Amino acid sequence: MIELSHDPHPPQDPPPVPLRVLEGSSASVAAVQSMNFRALVSLKVRVVAPLLGLSLLFILCTALLAGYDRPLMAQKVLGAFNVGYLLVLLMYGLSWVTACIYVYAANNRLDPQAALAADAARWSRT
Amino acid sequence: MKAMTVGIFLLILMLTLAITWWAARRTHTTSEFYAGGGNLSARANGFALAGDWMSAAAFLGFSGLVSLYGMDGSLYAVAALVAFLVVLMLIAEPVRNTGRFTFGDVVAERMRSRHARLAAVIGTVVVNLAYMVPQMAGAGALIKLLLGIPYDLAIVLVGVGMMVYVLFGGMIATTWVQIVKAVLLLIAAIVLVLMLLSAVHFNPLTLFASVEHLYGPRMLVAGGYFHHPLDPLSLFLSFVFGVAGLPHIMTRFYTVPDARTARKSVLWLMFLAGSFFLVTTLIGFAAATFVGQDAIRTADKGGNLALPLLAQYLGGGAGTFGGQIFLACISAIAFAAILAVVAGLTLASSGAIAHDLYVNVINDGKVGEAQQVRVARIATLAVGLLAVLLGLLAQGINVGVLVILAIAVAASANFPVILLSIFWRRFNTAGVIGGMAVGLASSVILAFIGPAFLKGNAIFPIVNPTILSMPLGFVGAWAGTMMTSHSGRRAIREAHEARFDAFVFRAHTGLDPEREHTAQ
């Protein structure tokens, strides 16, 4: 097996890349450039980016508010229950809802698309 | 009381040993030792993951922090849940699709380099030991307090227990011990919450009001435990990105047959552990109300005995039969929690040493199956003995810094490496080494010059150093990659990029186009 990555001290005269690896590499390039795989990546970005991005934005903003705006967090909502605890409660709900949406989307949209990409890669070789 | 507690301890110990005996008869291959055969259901793996994540630190620590500091403890608990969003959406499936037994497998699969695998071994062992020592020290202190057994003997008992589980039962025993522990812990939490809610006529707002009345409105906002305004943000960064770099959590994704099951098991974990984390606020407030902060501090200044003391109170109070039964049960479950978590950490560490270091770095993968299992067991023994030794040395020192250190190293060294391995085409072995070295060094240095270790004399003002050390880890990974990405011959560079294509295809689909191709 040859070294395919860049070590900090690369060999001065690396061995030539065997034909077998080049054939495999071209299969990899073809696989990632296939329409099905590109559609899968695009779909993943469209599912994950908003879900994770918005969740993290909410979570990290709440953390910042907890540190920098304690008077706001101390505002009462219901009895002694305040804005800070409301946001904590929302974080639990948000995490569960976001996770369920992702798993639903992954099971019903991402997995079938991944299977199409894998099937296409297998089919292209035969 | 002690006889009853010892009896319940022994009952749980016998149950887990019976599981180990059953598992030992099914553990022969490396796949069975490291990954339990890789055929767990999503539900079983979800319970085991929840068992892994609901450690004694969570079980006792979160409720203790809430009882003494209010909102800061609640932030810790919710951070431990939201962390799994990153694991679910970015890490679980690629790790399952590209690795075999360890975090090092993923990095090595991407880089095809022994240096990269070695860097992953270092990241794994440092994180696991830093995580394990506080668990051991906590176990020693807890058992000493509850049973009167000397600290040293308690540490040895925990060490022997975890080594027996892992040596004989491997991942199968560790998994089922985790599942049993998770079920016991959740049952205990449900009973406690029902009892404490009945004490306040099923109106949880009463607890908020009583805490505010008894200890002032400061309990309901951050700032009791966290002093710097950036502390909550750094805490969330630590958890959100640190959990994704914890090797013993990644290892659990190899115990299921595919990425889809890995994903579903994270969802199970999020509901099981998340529900528990949610009620730690109620448990903590109930402990502060019914037991009182003075009594909690007297029992343990860190508040770790708030939950057992609340259980005793709800059972009827000190000296009553119900109170003793409740206290004994909770203590025994805490003991089981510690044993199960250290067993998981030991297994992940022995995997890094035996599978990554001995088999793949030293012997280039040319080791027979039986020899691999033998070496894994020797590594388990070595890791277990080291953990016992460090646990003995940790008596009396501030182990809190080690928990912070473990999660900070995971976020600053392991997470950048795993994330860039999966998503950055140009990332290379020098980047792995750079990210690991800078992330590790910066998190260790900042943790030890921070408030967790130096208290009022801290040079770095924030408890969790991740807010600075994680960006530094990414910079180290980027710098290492950029400094070497133009060296080497063009053919090597092209082969490296093609290797990334194969890796990324496999990460997203589970199919390796190169191996499928060459297998034809």
| CB contact residues (below 8 A), chain B span 181-210, against chain A | 205, 208-209
The reported pLDDT for the residue numbered A125 is 65
CB–CB contact A3 B498 (8 Å): no
Q: Are B483 and A13 in contact (CB under 8 A)?
A: no
CA A28 – CA A13 distance, rounded (Å): 26
Q: Does A20 touch chain B (CB under 8 A)?
A: yes
Q: Which domains occur in chain B, in start order? A: 2-487 (1.20.1730.10)
CA distance A34 to chain B (A): 11
CB–CB contact B514 A28 (8 Å): yes
- For range A14-31, the mean pLDDT: 57
The reported pLDDT for the residue numbered B398 is 58
Answer whether residue A11 shows pLDDT above 50.
no
Give the nearest partner residue to A88 out of B75, B88, B235, using CB atoms: B75
User: Which of B194, B192, B228, B239 lies closest to B80 in space, CA to CA?
Assistant: B239
CB–CB contact B90 A48 (8 Å): yes
Q: How many CA atoms lie within 13 A of A71 on its CB side?
A: 0
Judge residue B458's burial from the number of C-beta atoms within 10 Å of its C-beta, 0-12 exposed, 13-18 middle, 19 or more buried.
Answer: middle
Give the nearest partner residue to B495 out of A25, A31, A56, using CB atoms: A25
Q: Does B438 touch chain A (CB under 8 A)?
A: no
Computed over its alpha carbons, how large is the radius of gyration of chain A? 24
Tokens of B417: 């490496």
Q: Are A53 and A100 in contact (CB under 8 A)?
A: no
What does pTM read for this prediction? 0.89
Q: How many CB atoms lie within 10 A of CB A61?
A: 12
- For range A8-30, the mean pLDDT: 51
Which residues face A78 on adjacent strands?
Answer: A81
Q: Does A74 touch chain B (CB under 8 A)?
A: yes
Banded model confidence at residue A63, pLDDT cuts 50, 70, 90: very high
B470, B492, B496, B500: which to substitute to probe chain A, counting the most A Cβ within 10 Å? Answer: B492
Q: How many residues does chain A have?
A: 126
Q: How many CA atoms lie within 13 A of B89 on its CB side?
A: 27
Q: Does A102 touch chain B (CB under 8 A)?
A: yes
CA distance B350 to chain A (A): 26
The reported pLDDT for the residue numbered B490 is 73
CB–CB contact A28 B211 (8 Å): no
User: Which of B466, B33, B34, B392 lies closest to B248 in space, CA to CA?
Assistant: B34
Rounded to two decimals, the ipTM of the complex is 0.90
Give the nearest partner residue to A52 out of B85, B111, B430, using CB atoms: B85
Q: How many residues does chain B have?
A: 520
The reported pLDDT for the residue numbered B121 is 92
The reported pLDDT for the residue numbered A5 is 37
Answer whether residue A121 shows pLDDT above 90.
no
The reported pLDDT for the residue numbered B77 is 93
Alpha-helical regions (H) of B91-149: 92-98, 103-111, 114-147
Answer whether residue A79 shows pLDDT above 70.
yes
Q: Does A101 touch chain B (CB under 8 A)?
A: no
> Over its length of 520 residues, how does chain B's per-residue pLDDT go in tens digits?
667 777 887 888 888 888 888 888 888 888 888 888 888 999 999 999 998 888 777 778 889 899 999 999 999 999 999 999 999 999 999 999 998 888 888 888 888 888 999 999 999 998 898 888 888 877 777 777 677 788 888 889 888 888 888 888 888 888 998 999 899 999 999 999 999 999 999 999 999 999 999 999 999 998 888 888 999 999 999 999 999 989 989 999 999 999 999 999 999 999 999 999 999 999 999 999 999 999 999 887 778 888 989 999 998 888 888 888 888 888 888 888 888 888 888 888 998 999 999 998 998 888 888 888 899 899 999 999 999 998 888 876 656 667 778 889 999 999 999 999 999 988 999 999 999 999 999 999 998 898 877 878 889 999 889 999 999 999 999 999 998 876 666 777 777 777 888 899 999 999 887 765 433 3
CA distance A114 to chain B (A): 5
Decide the pairing of beta strands A81-82 and A76-78.
antiparallel
CB–CB contact B85 A80 (8 Å): no
Alpha-helical regions (H) of B351-465: 369-393, 400-409, 415-423, 429-448, 451-454
Q: Which residues of chain A neighbour B270 with C-beta distances below 8 Å? A: 95-96, 99
The reported pLDDT for the residue numbered A10 is 41
CB–CB contact B509 A2 (8 Å): no
CA distances in angstroms from B426 to A87, B404, B473, B482, listed in the order given: 40, 31, 17, 8
CB–CB contact B508 A37 (8 Å): yes
CA B290 – CA B196 distance, rounded (Å): 9
CB–CB contact A59 B236 (8 Å): yes
Q: Are B458 and B450 in contact (CB under 8 A)?
A: yes
Site of tokens 């040395």: B393
- The torsion angles phi and psi of A77, rounded to 5 degrees, stand at -110, -50
CA distances in angstroms from A40 to A33, A43, A46, A106, listed in the order given: 11, 5, 10, 11
Q: Are B435 and B420 in contact (CB under 8 A)?
A: yes
Give the nearest partner residue to B208 out of A80, A100, A121, using CB atoms: A80
CA A33 – CA B263 distance, rounded (Å): 26
Residue-by-residue DSSP string for A29-51: HHHHHSHHHHHHHHHHHHHHHHH
Answer whether residue A17 shows pLDDT above 60.
no
CA distance A53 to chain B (A): 10
The reported pLDDT for the residue numbered A37 is 94
